[in-house]
Amino acid sequence: MLWSMTTLARASESDTQANEFDTLASQLAAASFKQKGELVEQLAQTQDPRAAALLSAFLEGELYSSKDNPAQLLIRQGTTYSDALSGSVVATANGKKLIVNNALRGQLRDLLAFMSLLSKDAGERLQAAQRLLSTGSTAEQLPRLQKAFAAETDEQVRAVLGDVIAVAELGSPDKALRLLAVDTLRGSLSPEVRARLDGVAQQDSDAEVRQAAASALTSIQSKIDFNLLLQNIFFGLSLGSVLLLAAVGLAITFGVMGVINMAHGELIMIGAYTTWVVQQLMPNHIGISILVAIPAAFVVSGLVGIAIERCVIRFLYGRPLETLLATFGISLILQQAVRSLFSPLNRAVTTPDWMSGSWQINPILSLTYNRLYILIFALIVFFALMLVLKRTSLGLKVRAVSQNRAMARAVGVRANRVDALTFGLGAGIAGVAGVALSQLTNVGPNLGQAYIIDSFMVVVFGGVGNLWGTLVGAMGLGVVNKFLEPYSGAVLAKILALVFIILFIQKRPRGLFPQKGRAAEA
């Protein structure tokens, strides 16, 4: 019995609320702008589920009143109209648009944002709080803001709402409250907050408040500079990861075999084209195709590398100039082959959804997912290669041949086979680098040419054949380039990095971490 009475009471309350909403809505068409402002406030306070749709249509200029019955409100959706109260489609286009002025438009935006703050979805509440922060809040809105803040459970939404409340308190006549608001906003990186604090620092009537706002802006600027420093480091490490992937395969072939492989860039290009081909074969599985492309590119580029070593390079060991000319000719052949097979036009590789977008840590610091994944991937490839060289039979033979070829052959190591597998391993890693580069740039016949010089710079700077040196050299050059670019431009930054390496090699001809063995003696 008690349950039945409670249910009846709730139903009666709901009916009363609906009747109030209907009555208020029917008055909108004939009301003045001032009266419309009062009516939309009352409509929002009814908490009727139809209020958001009606106010949103009013804001967007899609709310009409029927010419036959001005009290009937219609919402236009394309070429059709529906009754704003019942939702039923109205078979008439005889509607008169309800006009909105700037003051009413701002009021509607605020009301919709406040209504969104009551949503069950934390993401929607966060967007509403951010809208309020961007549009600005006033002291008159404080009671509603504080009520929403007290009811909020999500920490991220509470942080934004705290800034919104503090911005509203900046307009308070109470000096103590303004000083407290300035102190609250001292740690905010939001552009809207900085703009409001700048206005207070210049225009507030009290000198102490102006000084406090200026001090807060100085503190915020320090935080901005720190976050920009972190972002530059990230972009530098991102560039370094690309250089690492491009150079680590070259470090193996150059360090172990002493071969100056000018076709290394084309092996990177082959890996990138392999990625594109895999995507063409799996058009409905782009997210998985990039994972399939990694082993495919390794195998394809590795086999091409073994073929180059077996057919050309094995006849030129000990003749570095001839090797350089031969591999340069091979690079031209591979470029032309790709032009004949795929045309000279660039091919775009689609980025999977899970690599798209960015990780927004704060309003200043944002890390793009594709570069973040490539950085992680480059480190995985590097440490996997280290594991192969340190823990496998192939790695033991590679290290033996690189340190003393004659002694290795004397104890039964087939040096020629090791050379072929080593060249294939370096070429396969170059192909994997092509997979990563396909996510950053278009795939074309000249893709590898942009990275071959940088790869040699990294290998020579780090120490020929030393993988740790390659890692340090790649990351170091990437970070230095990103810090120089804002001051000198991208081209001059590379020139300055090259000049630095030349001067460094004059002092340390064997690089940061010199390799011992045959490569060091050469």
Q: Is the overall model pTM greater than 0.75, yes or no? A: no
Looking at residue 138, what is its pLDDT? Answer: 66
Cα gap 345→250, rounded to integer Å: 27
Q: Phi first, then psi: give them for residue 93, nearest 5 degrees.
A: -115, 15
Looking at residue 9, what is its pLDDT? Answer: 42
What value does the mean pLDDT take over residues 108-116? 75
Q: Which amino acid appears at position 113 of this protein? A: A
Task: Judge whether 175 and 148 are in contact, CB under 8 Å.
Answer: no
Looking at residue 7, what is its pLDDT? Answer: 43
Q: Phi first, then psi: give them for residue 82, nearest 5 degrees.
A: -130, 150
Q: How far apart are the first and last CA of the chain?
A: 99
Task: Judge whether 247 and 470 are in contact, CB under 8 Å.
Answer: yes
pLDDT digits (tens, 9 = 90+) for 258-270: 778 888 889 999 9
User: At a CB cut-off of 8 Å and minimum separation 6, what does 304 contact?
Assistant: 267, 270, 334, 427
Looking at residue 156, what is its pLDDT? Answer: 83
Which letter does DSSP use for residue 256 in this model?
I
The token pair that represents 321 in the structure block: 């100039």
β-bridge partners, 19: none
β-bridge partners, 366: 360
Looking at residue 504, what is its pLDDT? Answer: 74
Q: Which amino acid appears at position 288 of this protein? A: I
Q: Phi first, then psi: give them for residue 153, nearest 5 degrees.
A: -115, -20
Cα gap 293→275, rounded to integer Å: 5
Task: Judge whether 67 and 95 are in contact, CB under 8 Å.
Answer: yes
Cα gap 201→212, rounded to integer Å: 8
Nearest to 428 by CA among 276, 235, 294, 331: 294
Cα gap 429→264, rounded to integer Å: 10
Convert 124-189 into a string of H (helix), E (strand) and C (coil): HHHHHHHHHHHHCCCHHHHHHHHHHHHHCCCHHHHHHHHHHHHHHHCCCCCHHHHHHHHHHHHHCC
Looking at residue 269, what is its pLDDT? Answer: 92
Please say if the pLDDT value at position 94 is more than 70. no
Looking at residue 15, what is its pLDDT? Answer: 56
Please say if the pLDDT value at position 13 is more than 70. no
Percent of the chain predicted with pLDDT > 90: 11
The token pair that represents 252 in the structure block: 């193996």
- Residue 18: which pLDDT band, with cuts at 50, 70 and 90? low
User: At a CB cut-off of 8 Å and minimum separation 6, what does 505 contact?
Assistant: 460, 461, 511
pLDDT digits (tens, 9 = 90+) for 349-394: 888 888 888 888 888 888 889 899 999 999 999 999 888 888 888 8
Give the three-class secondary structure for 56. helix
Please say if the pLDDT value at position 72 is more than 70. yes
Element (H or E) spanning 97, and its range? Answer: strand 95-97
More confident residue, 333 or 456: 333
What value does the mean pLDDT take over residues 95-117? 77
Cα gap 350→348, rounded to integer Å: 6
Looking at residue 402, what is its pLDDT? Answer: 67
β-bridge partners, 367: 359
Element (H or E) spanning 270, and its range? Answer: helix 264-281
Please say if the pLDDT value at position 418 is more than 90. no
Counting every residue written for the chain, the total comes to 522
Looking at residue 116, what is its pLDDT? Answer: 72
Please say if the pLDDT value at position 58 is more than 90. no
Nearest to 474 by CA among 441, 429, 517: 429
pLDDT digits (tens, 9 = 90+) for 209-258: 889 889 989 998 999 899 989 988 998 898 888 888 888 888 887 766 77
Burial of 434 (0-12, 13-18, 19+ CB in 10 A): buried
Cα gap 239→451, rounded to integer Å: 11
Looking at residue 256, what is its pLDDT? Answer: 66
Looking at residue 10, what is its pLDDT? Answer: 46
Please say if the pLDDT value at position 188 is more than 80. yes
Q: At what angle do helices 449-462 and 207-252 cross, to 10 degrees?
A: 90
b (16+ CB within 10 A) / e for 216-229: bbeebeebbeebee
- Residue 307: which pLDDT band, with cuts at 50, 70 and 90? very high
Please say if the pLDDT value at position 512 is more than 60. yes
Please say if the pLDDT value at position 503 is more than 80. no
- Residue 333: which pLDDT band, with cuts at 50, 70 and 90? very high
What value does the mean pLDDT take over residues 460-488? 81
Nearest to 270 by CA among 201, 360, 337: 337
What value does the mean pLDDT take over residues 276-284? 88
Cα gap 279→290, rounded to integer Å: 8
Tally of CB atoms within 10 A around 453 = 12
Q: Which fold does the domain 228-521 belong to in CATH?
A: ABC transporter involved in vitamin B12 uptake, BtuC (1.10.3470)
Nearest to 402 by CA among 257, 510, 254, 305: 257
Burial of 185 (0-12, 13-18, 19+ CB in 10 A): buried
Q: Among the ranges 26-30, 39-43, 89-93, 181-185, which has the highest mean pLDDT value?
A: 181-185
Domain spans in the chain, listed from the N-terminal domain onward: 14-104, 117-205, 228-521
Nearest to 198 by CA among 276, 249, 185, 388: 185
Please say if the pLDDT value at position 2 is more than 60. no
Using the Cα atoms of residue 371, residue 376, residue 377 and residue 379 in order, give the sign of their dihedral: positive
Chain position carrying tokens 């994972």:
291
Cα gap 51→115, rounded to integer Å: 9
Please say if the pLDDT value at position 516 is more than 70. no
Looking at residue 97, what is its pLDDT? Answer: 80
Looking at residue 11, what is its pLDDT? Answer: 44
What value does the mean pLDDT take over residues 31-41? 80
β-bridge partners, 360: 366
Using the Cα atoms of residue 363, residue 365, residue 367 and residue 368 in order, give the sign of their dihedral: positive
Mean residue pLDDT across the chain:
81
Looking at residue 467, what is its pLDDT? Answer: 81
The token pair that represents 204 in the structure block: 């507030």
Looking at residue 278, what is its pLDDT? Answer: 92
Give the three-class secondary structure for 48. coil
Pick the range with the lowest mean pLDDT from 105-114, 309-318, 435-444, 478-487.
105-114
